């Protein structure tokens, strides 16, 4: 006779099988390469604040893109370093560069959304790609590969922005967390339930942005300029996912654990504004993981080795291979083999992070 605890573990396992087989498997086993579109005119928009040195590295690489018609709009968002001077200095040698300046005003305190709106209004072309100053394309095909997502009338293109590899615990946590989050939002979108994208590698039509209610409704929030907008407007029929490695936009890693913790806390402020179905799915997944592992451990403690072995076998033979392949699709490399212990760690860390946002409200960006 099966115990109640074993039935609970099987129920949690069934939920995890649903996510892995019907969502994550799409990313793991679907062919990732696309045919680049080098003809579509594209505006690349970058919102930068105190990023002079990063722009000096990034802009020459963007200008080398193998794409027929594009521009790079850089919005200097109230920088107090020499960002604006650097942009003016670079402009004569970079004819595709269009600097836009926002002056600081002590009467107003606002986040990145205002700068994003200014950049989109300044864009010449209706199709826009977003990235950040601390990012770097993998080669000369980033624009064309992302632009391919706009085919067949798609209005939104969701891309991957992995963190650069460096030494230390912070980088390990950040790379794993970023890869798992990307695996989730890309897989959900492939399954017809897009709920977010990241502004470090994202495309959409400017018309879609200005017709949406989201930017107005969420203007008071410190974050969410990318994921809340996508959550507002993305649907199965208007959203494309590009998982081709040529489309990846690598991001500079966070320098220390405290900074990473602050960024993670800030991102938690937006999840409560997602559509209800997305909130349910995003709560159900970690809840099922927690219940599954708690039940499995308790079965082992009680000496129910056969029942515990069934759960562990399903995890190692069915769920884990899909996770590993999906993570490697996103450029995780050897990190994918550490997925299981890191999953356990984040089952403890994520509730702590969420609780901390309730006790102490996060501050605005930069």
Give 190-230 pLDDT, tens digit per residue: 999 999 999 999 999 999 999 886 455 555 555 556 788 89
How far from chain centre, in Å, is Cα 3?
Answer: 40
Task: Give residue 362's pLDDT.
Answer: 56
Predicted local confidence at residue 111, as pLDDT = 66
Cα radius of gyration rounded to whole Å, the chain: 21
Looking at residue 162, its pLDDT comes to 97
Burial class (CB in 10 A: 0-12, 13-18, 19+), 9: buried
Q: Which residues contact 299 (CB under 8 A, 6 or more apart)?
A: 3, 5, 6, 9, 307, 308, 311
Helices (H), 268-338: 276-301, 305-314, 320-329
Q: Which residues of the chain have pLDDT under 50?
A: 214, 365
pTM: 0.92
Tallying the residues shown for the chain, one arrives at 366
Asked if residue 214 lies in contact with residue 233, where contact means CB atoms within 8 angstroms, the answer is yes
CA distance to 47, 87, 98, 132, 165, per residue, from 93 (Å): 21, 10, 12, 21, 32
User: If DSSP codes are grouped into helix, strand and coil, which group holds residue 64?
Assistant: coil
Residue with tokens 């002079």: 52
pLDDT of residue 214: 46
∠ at Cα 12 (10, 13), nearest 5°? 60
The HSE-up count of residue 49 (CA atoms within 13 Å, CB side) is 15
Closest CA to 180 of 24, 12, 18, 311: 24
What's the gap between Cα 187 and its chain centre? 12
């Amino acid at each position: 006779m099966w115990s109640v605890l074993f039935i609970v573990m099987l129920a949690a396992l069934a939920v995890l099988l649903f996510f892995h087989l019907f969502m994550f498997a799409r990313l793991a086993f679907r062919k990732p390469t696309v045919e680049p579109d080098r003809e579509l005119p594209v505006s690349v928009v970058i919102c930068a604040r105190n990023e002079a040195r990063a722009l000096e590295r990034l802009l020459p690489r963007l200008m080398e893109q193998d794409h027929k018609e594009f521009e790079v709009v850089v919005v200097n968002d109230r920088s107090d370093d020499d960002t604006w001077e650097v942009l003016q200095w670079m402009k004569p040698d970079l004819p595709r560069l269009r600097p836009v300046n926002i002056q600081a005003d002590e009467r107003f305190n606002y986040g990145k959304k205002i700068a994003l709106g200014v950049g989109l209004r300044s864009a010449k072309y209706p199709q826009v790609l977003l990235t950040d100053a601390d990012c770097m394309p993998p080669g000369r095909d980033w624009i064309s590969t992302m632009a391919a997502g706009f085919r067949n009338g798609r209005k939104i293109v969701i891309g991957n922005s992995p963190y650069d590899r460096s030494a230390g615990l912070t980088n390990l946590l950040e790379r794993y967390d970023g890869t798992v989050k990307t695996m989730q939002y890309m897989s959900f979108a492939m399954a017809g339930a897009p709920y977010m994208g990241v502004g470090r590698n994202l495309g959409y039509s400017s018309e879609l942005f200005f017709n949406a209610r989201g930017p107005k409704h969420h203007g008071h929030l410190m974050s969410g300029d990318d994921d809340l907008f996508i959550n507002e407007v993305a649907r199965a029929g208007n959203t494309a996912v590009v998982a081709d490695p040529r489309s990846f936009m690598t991001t500079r890693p966070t320098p220390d654990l405290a900074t990473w913790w602050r960024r993670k806390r800030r991102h938690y402020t937006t999840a409560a504004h997602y559509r209800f179905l997305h909130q349910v799915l995003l709560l159900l997944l970690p809840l099922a993981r927690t219940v599954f592992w708690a039940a499995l451990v308790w079965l082992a403690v009680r000496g129910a080795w056969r029942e515990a072995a069934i759960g562990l076998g399903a995890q190692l033979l069915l769920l884990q291979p899909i996770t590993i392949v999906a993570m490697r699709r996103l450029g995780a490399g050897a990190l994918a083999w550490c997925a299981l212990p890191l999953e356990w760690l984040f089952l403890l860390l994520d509730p702590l992070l969420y609780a901390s946002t309730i006790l102490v409200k996060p501050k605005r960006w930069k």
